């Protein structure tokens, strides 16, 4: 029997399943069972009622089980609420639930005895580990305030007890990583893997340390093992692709990128999504191949024409870009974005008058098009100051948002834009993604990253940053802006405003400059 005072939340979009779960709980002695049809309803209940345990389905509309786990991890107030994930899917789902923080997984269908035994086991393990959970929480807090010696004392308490919990070992490793003690972090991650060789979070973090150490071969082996254990983690496939691309393995990178966008999407959408990943990785030549193939498969896809134009512009293939946009305008003659992007290419190619004409056309179609207004104002001012000439400002480098304009980067201070780069920097932010994140760009004040799960605007996330040969911990990134990308599956570009003391910022800037110099310059 389960403690009668336990307050359970049953989350499932199937009303009959919710009722069955509630009946099972009450048969096990639970007096209070609340019900929610999806993750959004569950969060509303959690914010208003005390809940001690969550039983959640994996697949639900609106907000599924993994997104619920993601939200719970992002809010410290819910961190201690245990979650049992249930699903009709197989082992892959269980591995995915495990890496997103579920305390247990149970395949449907299950019996009353099976769920009672699983819940009881989770509660008993949680109770036995509570003192060490408290030590880990203290270590995180002390580390954040720079009290490293006190944090280490809390971590040593965990290591002395040698808990049979990969979660605790990985948490200890994360604190050591934040403090910059890579050897101790590595030991903790290896301990977590020894306890549970399917605990993928440890593989991810260990892979980053191995990359930092220059042991790329072992890092790739570690990351590949994680992708086999939990093949549905798209961020991890992206990270693997980026590492392979950095090592010159274009074929392997392409396969990893395609794996990251695999699912219930058509071939054209997959090619377009992979092209975007190549573009983020600063390989417009490979992005060109994928966008071209997507257009050949679907000649009427205006979005792909638009993005291909940005790719050509990034490579300074202005003639090809102009031809591409003119072909796109035959398909969509009233698309203001196409006229705007064509105008930028014409201006960069020296045709200022043609650029002005097309900016005016964009504004005639969409008078509220602010970027077109700003670009027209810039080029008109330049024309007045400089008269006739070949070169004039084009209003951006075409590397940013979906319409080719550069979006103001996250982390701008004092209303100035910090230079942005495509540098080999890795971010670890477990509340944003269980795996290392791919950057769209980086500056000394912040990052733009692409994620598959939408974070809340304004939330802060603890970061560890690897740049060049440095790992910089005790950082926070505040979600300054969000943009939903026109990709399948849907992704979000997220602007993270970097929060760190000035002394630590100087260390980061030095590491960033070293990383940029190492790759031969910024974007």
Three-class SS of 250-287: HHHHHHHHHHHCCCCCCHHHHHHHHHHHHHHCCCHHHH
- What is the token pair recorded at 386? 């400089």
Q: How many CB atoms sit inside 10 A of residue 274's CB? A: 28
Cα angle for residues 244, 246, 251 (degrees, 5° grid): 40
CB distance 281 to 438 below 8 Å: yes
User: Is the torsion defined by CA of 67, 71, 74, 80 positive or negative?
Assistant: negative
Question: Rg for the chain (alpha carbons), in Å?
Answer: 25
pLDDT the model gives residue 519 = 59
- State residue 168's pLDDT score: 93
Q: How far is CA 145 from CA 80, 149, 504, in A?
A: 22, 11, 13
How much is the pLDDT for 169?
Answer: 96
Distance (Å, rounded) from C-alpha 385 to C-alpha 403?
A: 28
95 phi and psi angles, rounded to 5 deg:
-65, -40
Among 63, 27, 28, which residue's Cα sits nearest to residue 45? 63
Report yes or no: 4 and 30 within 8 Å, Cβ to Cβ: yes
Q: What is the DSSP string of 434-483?
A: SSPBPEEEEETTEEEEEESSPPPTT-EEEEEEEETTEEEEEEEEEEEEEE
Phi-psi label, residue 41: left if phi above 0, alpha if psi -120 to 50, beta otherwise: alpha
Report the predicted TM-score, pTM, of the whole model to 2 decimal places: 0.81
pLDDT of residue 37: 93
Helices of type H across 196-246: 200-213, 216-229, 234-246
Could you tell me which of 321, 315, 350, 318 has the C-alpha nearest to residue 338? Answer: 321
Looking only at the bridges linking them, the beta strands covering 439-443 and 446-451 are: antiparallel
Going residue by residue through the chain, which has 523 residues, state the pLDDT in tens, using 9 for 90 and above. 788 889 999 999 999 999 999 999 999 999 899 999 999 999 999 989 999 999 999 989 888 888 888 888 767 667 778 999 999 877 678 888 887 888 999 988 889 899 999 999 999 998 999 899 999 999 988 988 889 999 999 999 999 999 999 999 999 999 999 898 999 999 999 999 999 998 988 999 999 999 988 899 999 999 999 999 988 888 899 999 999 998 999 999 999 999 998 875 788 989 999 999 998 888 999 999 999 999 999 999 999 999 999 999 999 999 999 999 999 999 999 999 999 999 999 999 999 999 999 999 999 999 999 999 999 999 888 877 776 544 555 554 443 344 433 333 333 333 345 777 777 788 888 778 878 887 888 888 899 988 888 888 888 888 888 887 788 887 889 999 998 887 777 888 999 999 888 878 888 888 888 888 765 433 3
Spatial separation of the C-alpha atoms in residues 94 and 106, rounded to whole Å: 8
pLDDT of residue 409: 36
Number of Cβ within 10 Å of residue 198's Cβ equals 18
Place of tokens 């509570």: 130
**361 is written with which tokens?**
């056309």
User: 8: closest CA among 35, 27, 38?
Assistant: 35
Angle of CA points 256, 308, 411, to nearest 5°: 75
Cis peptide before 190 (omega within 30 of 0): no
Order the strands of the 446-451 sheet from edge to edge: 425-428, 460-467, 470-484, 492-499, 446-451, 439-443
Secondary structure class of 486 (helix, strand, coil):
coil
| DSSP helix/strand/coil, 68 | helix
Q: Give yes or no for a contact between 360 and 342, defined as CB atoms under 8 angstroms apart.
A: no
Residues 6+ apart with CB under 8 A from 230: 92, 95, 96, 98, 99, 200, 236
Residue 436 near residue 426 (C-beta atoms within 8 A): yes
Cα angle 55, 57, 62 (rounded to 5 degrees) comes to 120
Residues 6 or more apart from 45 whose CB is under 8 A from it? Answer: 9, 34, 36, 51
């Amino acid at each position: 029997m389960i403690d009668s005072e336990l307050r359970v939340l049953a989350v499932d979009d199937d009303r009959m399943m919710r009722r069955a779960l509630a009946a099972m709980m009450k048969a096990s002695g639970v007096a209070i069972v609340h019900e929610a049809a999806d993750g959004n309803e569950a969060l509303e209940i959690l914010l208003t009622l005390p809940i001690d345990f969550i039983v959640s389905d994996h697949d639900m509309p609106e907000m599924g089980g993994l997104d619920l786990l993601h939200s719970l991890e992002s809010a410290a107030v819910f961190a201690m609420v245990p979650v049992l994930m249930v699903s009709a899917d197989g082992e892959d789902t269980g591995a995915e639930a495990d890496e997103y923080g579920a305390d247990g997984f149970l395949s449907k269908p299950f019996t009353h005895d099976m769920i009672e035994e699983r819940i009881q086991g989770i509660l008993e393990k949680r109770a036995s580990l509570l003192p060490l959970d408290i030590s880990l929480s203290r270590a995180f807090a002390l580390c954040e305030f720079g009290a490293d010696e006190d944090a280490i004392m809390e971590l040593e308490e965990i290591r002395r007890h040698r808990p049979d919990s990969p979660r605790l070992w990985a948490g200890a490793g994360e604190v050591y990583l934040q403090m910059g003690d890579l050897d101790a972090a590595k030991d903790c991650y290896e301990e977590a893997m020894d306890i549970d060789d399917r605990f993928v979070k440890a593989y991810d973090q260990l892979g980053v340390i191995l990359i930092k150490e220059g042991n790329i071969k072992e890092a790739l082996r570690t990351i590949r093992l994680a992708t086999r254990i939990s093949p549905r983690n798209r961020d991890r496939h992206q990270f693997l692709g980026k590492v392979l691309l950095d090592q010159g393995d274009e074929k392997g990178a392409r396969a990893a990128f395609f794996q990251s966008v695999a699912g219930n999407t058509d071939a054209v959408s997959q090619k377009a999504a992979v092209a975007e990943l190549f573009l983020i990785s600063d390989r417009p030549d490979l992005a060109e191949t994928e966008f071209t193939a997507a257009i050949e498969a679907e000649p009427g896809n205006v979005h792909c024409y638009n993005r291909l134009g940005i790719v050509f512009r990034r490579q300074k293939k202005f003639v090809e870009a102009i031809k591409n946009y003119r072909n796109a305008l035959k398909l969509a003659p009233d698309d203001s974005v196409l006229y705007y992007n064509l105008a930028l290419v014409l201006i960069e190619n020296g045709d200022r008058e043609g650029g002005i004409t097309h900016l005016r056309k964009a504004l005639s179609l969409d008078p509220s098009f602010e970027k077109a207004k700003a670009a027209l104002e810039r080029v008109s001012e330049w024309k007045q100051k400089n008269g006739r000439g070949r070169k004039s400002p084009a209003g951006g480098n075409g590397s940013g948002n979906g319409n080719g304009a550069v979006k103001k980067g996250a982390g701008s201070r004092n209303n100035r834009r910090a230079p942005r780069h495509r540098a080999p920097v890795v971010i670890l932010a477990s509340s944003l993604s269980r795996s290392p994140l791919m950057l769209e760009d980086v500056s000394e004040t912040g990052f733009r990253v692409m994620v598959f799960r939408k974070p809340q605007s304004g939330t802060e996330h603890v970061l560890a940053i690897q740049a060049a040969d440095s790992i910089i911990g005790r950082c926070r990134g505040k979600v300054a802006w969000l943009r939903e990308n026109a990709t399948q599956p849907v992704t979000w570009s997220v602007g993270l405003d970097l929060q760190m003391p000035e002394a630590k910022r100087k260390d980061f800037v030095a590491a960033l400059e070293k990383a940029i110099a190492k790759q031969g310059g910024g974007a």
